[in-house]
Amino acid sequence: MTEQNPLLDFSGLPRFDAIKAEHVTPAIDTLLAQSRAVVSQLEAPQAQVSWDNFVAPLEQATELLGRAWGIVSHLNNVVDTPELRATYNENQPKVTEFWTALGQNEVLFAKYKALRASAEFATLSPARQRIIDNAVRDFRMGGAELPAEQKERYAEIQEQHAAVSTRFSENVLDATNDFKLLVADEADLAGVPADVKAAARAAAEKEGKAGYEFSLHFPSYFPLLQFADKRELREAIYRANATKASDQAEGFSKKDDWDNTANIVTLLKLRDEEAKLLGYRNFAEVSLVPKMAQSPEQVISFLEDLAQRARPYAQQDLDELKQFAREELGLDELKAWDIPYASEKLQERRYAFSAQEVKQYFPEPKVVDGLFRLIQRLFNVDIKTDSAPVWHPDVRFFRIERAGKLIGQFYLDLYARAGKSGGAWMDDARGRRASGDKVQTPVAYLTCNFTEPAVVDGVAQPSLFTHDEVITLFHEFGHGLHHMLTVVDELGVSGIAGVEWDAVELPSQFMENFCWEWDVLEHMTAHATTGEPLPRALYDKMLAAKNFQSGLQTLRQVEFSLLDMHLHYDYDANGSQSVQAVIDGVRQQFALIIPPAFNRFQNSFGHIFAGGYAAGYYSYKWAEVLSADVYAAFEEAQAISPAATAETGKRYLEEILSVGGSRPALESFTAFRGREPSIDALLRHSGMAA
Ligand SMILES: [Zn+2]
């Protein structure tokens, strides 16, 4: 007998100690074949379509494929090797093709509709009903109901859209990689921190050049804008960044080839055509179908209202900045390339503390322990060390229990290392499902890229976290709890599955708030050498700096969100008006800082032209309203008693966290708060309340 492929072993947790690159192709091929076999069985006519004879077997078959591929993707993200990358890239098209074909399978669509119309539907649980409704919706939005000719056109639109969108991001990437600003004389870099200069020096050396080389990658260009005393230098890098991939680009080795101006118009035209094929007035309506927001009009008025409220604070921020720049920096007219520089100087002046100083109070064990204790207290659970095969010795594994009963488990992979993708994220290794007394508990991956512990004289010192890193950790844990504390039995809507895009950041942003609570910080900090908790005076300074320029920042987010909405709502891509004119119009009405005429920010706005955020950029602010309002309920309870806080934690767990995608997010919110969301808490938390 040959040994079993560990990727095909679903009896327990993934066998990370045994899975190798060579297992991927045979496992994925086997699972694809099995899934296809189930799909073709289910395509056969059935006398009566039911949950048990149709949805359940389909879900069962595809779940294993999803789980195995999830393991491969995860490994590709956290321990990238040439062998793994090769097999990942080789298998990815097959997997994508399977899911795409499944989403357009007309026989399956007809069966979902038959089930939706059957007498059985009314007898199903709300979670099962929602899974069927979501499936019917997704088939419909995928063009499954269109007549043959239009269906063909729909497919062409998708194909062209994917190609142009890929081209859009390639242009941005190529232009970003191409531009180089070489500074010969170190004296010209006055004000720039030593580590930034060292990186620029190394970049030049690598290409056999003398001097300092800067690029348009964020860690290179932004510190130059922020710190360089020499104004011409700031202007040069600002101009390059604001014109990349556009008709205004200069100093790039290619211009027309990388210009995204026409690609933007093509994408907007294709989206408009898709919307009309599907029977909608515009693409904004299409984008909102699976979201929490009800209509483009509702989103636009939410944004305009927020703009109006933020404006006086933004005006005050700008006036202060202008005055400071004039009086202290000798900048009579504040140009676009002066804003990060002057802001940095003002911030340093006003809140005399450094991130470095704060960091000394956040050693990793203390932070992780503080986070776990908070979770245990809020949600009445226990977090315990557990063991499982892992992909790297730094990874730890834990279990969550309530009253001795296993609820979920998670991997914690905190440190940056070679072969690991940047950023922080939560992903699911396994979702919750249950039938009868058979329960599959959820398992999560929590991945960050913090600094690993330094080793001094052979002894590992605890890693020190910046406050931003602590916030990131809490944020990802918010997603993790959403996934793990679910009580929903149906895989398709348990945890974060099926949660609306514009509501999915609620639990994560909610957790961030605790990183600003004195009661939490006091017990979560210990100075690296003295062991003292965070001093109250330093905390007060951090709190004061928290909302620095929040008026201007809010207005900027609103400006991006509004131009995204208008381009997909009332802009006629086939008419004579230019995209630039729409953007100028939004800025005239809502922005306080009008960028220079050469600015082509939109030409690298990948979120909406090469990501999933078209007519969806507003989601960031939308979810923030929800998370701030939920947190306000905790603030109100804390002012009453510990018992009231405990009760609020229980209600949050029951009404929002544990119900996942089994009902609309608005229903969950209202059940928790006893009313619809209000913007007041967000304004107050951002220092913009009257
Ligand atoms: Zn998030």
Ligand 1 centroid distance, CA of 425 (Å): 7
Ligand 1 centroid distance, CA of 507 (Å): 9
Amino acid 178: pLDDT: 93
Are the C-beta atoms of 452 and 394 separated by less than 8 Å? yes
Residue 42: name the closest of 92, 141, 114, 95 by CA: 114
For the stretch 279-300, pLDDT in tens is: 999 999 999 999 999 999 999 9
Q: Which residues surround ligand 1, an ion (CB under 5 A)?
A: 508
Amino acid 290: pLDDT: 96
Ligand 1 centroid distance, CA of 475 (Å): 6
Q: How far is CA 448 from the centre of its chain?
A: 13
For the stretch 545-602, pLDDT in tens is: 999 999 999 999 999 999 999 999 999 999 999 999 999 999 999 999 999 999 999 9
Measured distance CA(619)–CA(561) in Å, rounded: 9
Ligand 1 centroid distance, CA of 305 (Å): 25
For the stretch 196-225, pLDDT in tens is: 899 899 999 999 999 999 999 887 888 899
- For 218-231, b where at least 16 C-beta lie within 10 A, e where not — what string? eebbebbbbbbebe
For the stretch 62-89, pLDDT in tens is: 999 999 999 999 999 999 889 999 999 9
CA atoms within 13 Å, Cβ hemisphere of 675: 6
Amino acid 266: pLDDT: 97
Residue 248: CB atoms within 10 Å: 18
Residue 470: name the closest of 507, 516, 425 by CA: 516
**Residue 256 pLDDT class (50, 70, 90 cuts):** confident
Looking at per-residue pLDDT, the higher value among 382 and 92 belongs to 382
Ligand 1 centroid distance, CA of 590 (Å): 27
What SS3 string covers 201-241? HHHHHHCCCCCEEECCCHHHHHHHHHHCCCHHHHHHHHHHH
Ligand 1 centroid distance, CA of 28 (Å): 29
459-460 and 455-456 beta bridge pairing: antiparallel
Ligand 1 centroid distance, CA of 299 (Å): 21
What lies within 8 Å, CB to CB, of 40 at 6+ separation is none
Ligand 1 centroid distance, CA of 219 (Å): 22
Measured distance CA(552)–CA(312) in Å, rounded: 10
Tell me which H or E stretch contains 666: helix 665-673
For the stretch 393-427, pLDDT in tens is: 999 999 999 999 999 999 999 998 888 887 899 99
**Residue 460 pLDDT class (50, 70, 90 cuts):** confident
Ligand 1 centroid distance, CA of 395 (Å): 21
Ligand 1 centroid distance, CA of 662 (Å): 20
Ligand 1 centroid distance, CA of 479 (Å): 7
* DSSP class of 535: P
**Residue 173 pLDDT class (50, 70, 90 cuts):** confident
Ligand 1 centroid distance, CA of 309 (Å): 26
What is the average pLDDT across 372-383?
A: 95
Whether the pLDDT of residue 1 is over 70: the answer is no
405-415 and 443-450 beta bridge pairing: parallel
Ligand 1 centroid distance, CA of 481 (Å): 12
Residues annotated as catalytic are 476
Ligand 1 centroid distance, CA of 668 (Å): 19
Whether the pLDDT of residue 2 is over 70: the answer is no
Ligand 1 centroid distance, CA of 371 (Å): 17
Amino acid 455: pLDDT: 80
Residue 489: name the closest of 439, 444, 427 by CA: 439
